[in-house]
Amino acid sequence: MLVRDAMSSVVLTIGPAHTLRQAATLMSARRVGAAVVLDPEGTGIGILTERDVLNSLGLGQDPDSERAHAHTTTDVVFATPSWTLEDAAHAMTHGGFRHLIVLERGEPVGIVSVRDIIRCWVPLRRQAAQHTPA
């Protein structure tokens, strides 16, 4: 199974000047755990995750004044739609993260998460178990 089969193609995109509260509100409303941060005049494409927001709050920072750019991961591992889910899972495990931005022709076309991979693998594992002789 490929990343294109599992990824969410509805990508929440924010700018670097969004506050963490704005980002959290948008992520909550869309029920996603990450937002793509587009900064064409700065770092390019980055990712802001729920963990980034949580870490900031844990440090006592003000979500109304903290900006996304200060908490964005810019050293991002990108996937392509043609990666296998095994490739994506390996990259996530090796890098210690739960989301990959999916790029095609240099543009974000989706995000694949650990949850997306599990959602695809569980039915396949069940199906395989049903067809395995006892």
Task: Dump pLDDT digits (tens) for 65-96.
Answer: 999 999 999 889 999 999 999 999 999 999 99
- Nearest of 119, 120, 118, 101 to residue 33 by alpha carbon: 101
Two structure tokens written together for 71:
């908490």
Q: What CATH number did the domain enclosing 12 receive?
A: 3.10.580.10
R_g (Cα) of the chain, nearest Å: 16
Contact 111, 36 (CB under 8 A): yes
Q: What is the pLDDT of residues 51-61, one digit of tens each?
A: 999 999 999 99
Question: Considering the chain, what is the average pLDDT of its residues?
Answer: 92
How many folded domains does the chain comprise? 1
Range of the structural domain that residue 119 is part of: 3-130
- What pLDDT score does 133 carry? 65
Question: Percent of the chain scored above 70 by pLDDT?
Answer: 91
